[in-house]
Amino acid sequence: MSLTLLDWRRRIAALYGQIRATHDPSVAHRLWRDARDDLLRHHPESPVPADQRAGYPGAPVAPYDPTLRFELDVDEDVAPERMDVPTATDGVVPFDRVGRLHVPDIGDLDVWWLGSYGGGLFLPVRDATARSTTYGGGRYLVDTVKGADLGGHGRRLVVDFNFAYNPSCAYDPAWMCPLAPPGNVVASPIVAGELMASDQ
C-alpha cells in the first residue's frame, strides 16, 4: 500500500468535506481551486509529472457560474449496463449503470456504480468544449471512491459543473483513466470547471 496515495485520498476527502460544509458555493469553489493547485504542485501523488511540478502555474479554471449548479434526483429506471475500464493503478475496473440524471438545458448523464470492493458513484461528462478548451476524454463531476462528492440526500445528487476536473491522464499520458462513455456525452458546451492549459 502506498501511504502517499492514502494521504492524497485523505486530503481530497477532507477538501470535499469542507466544500459540502461551506454554504456559499462560490467560496467553496475558491477553496477547491486553491487546495487542488497546492496538491498538484507539491504532493508526491500529483498526476503532474514530477519534473514539471515546481513551475506548475495551477490548473486553469473558469469563473464560478451559479447557473451550473443543480440538485437532481437520480432516475433509476434504466436498463442494466456494465462498463469494464482498464486503469493505470487498479487493473480492470467494473462499473454498473445505476441511473440517469436529467440536467436542465444540458442533457442526460448516466450515473455509474463502481462494481469493485467498497463501491462508489462515478459521474463523468464530456461536452461540446472537449478537445478545444477542455480535455478531449471528458472530465469528472463525482467520484465518491476517491472522495470527490459534492453531496446530496437520498436519491438526490448535487451536480455542480463548476467543480468538473480533469482525470489524471489529462496531465500525463502514462495514466489510464475511465473516460466518459456515450451516455455521458452531451451536445451542450459547458464553460465551467477545469479547462486545458493553452500549451496542451
Per-residue pLDDT tens digits for 3-31:
999 999 999 999 999 999 999 999 999 99
Q: Does residue 40 carry a pLDDT above 70?
A: yes
- Single out the residue of 126, 97, 124 nearest to residue 186, CA to CA: 126
In order of 12, 36, 47, 174, 198, the CA distances from 51 in angstroms are: 23, 18, 11, 14, 19
At 80, the pLDDT band (50, 70, 90 cuts) reads: very high
At 198, the pLDDT band (50, 70, 90 cuts) reads: low
d(C-alpha 42, C-alpha 52), whole Å: 11
Mean pLDDT in residue range 42-71: 96
**Mean pLDDT estimate for the chain:** 94
> What are the tens digits of pLDDT across the range 105-125?
999 999 999 988 789 999 999
Mean pLDDT in residue range 44-49: 95
pLDDT at site 165: 98
Q: Does residue 199 carry a pLDDT above 60?
A: no
Q: Give yes or no for a contact between 190 and 163, defined as CB atoms under 8 angstroms apart.
A: no
pLDDT at site 88: 66
pTM for the complete prediction? Answer: 0.94
Gyration radius of the chain's alpha carbons = 16
> What are the tens digits of pLDDT across the range 145-191?
999 999 999 999 999 999 999 999 999 988 888 899 999 999 999 99
d(C-alpha 122, C-alpha 143), whole Å: 5
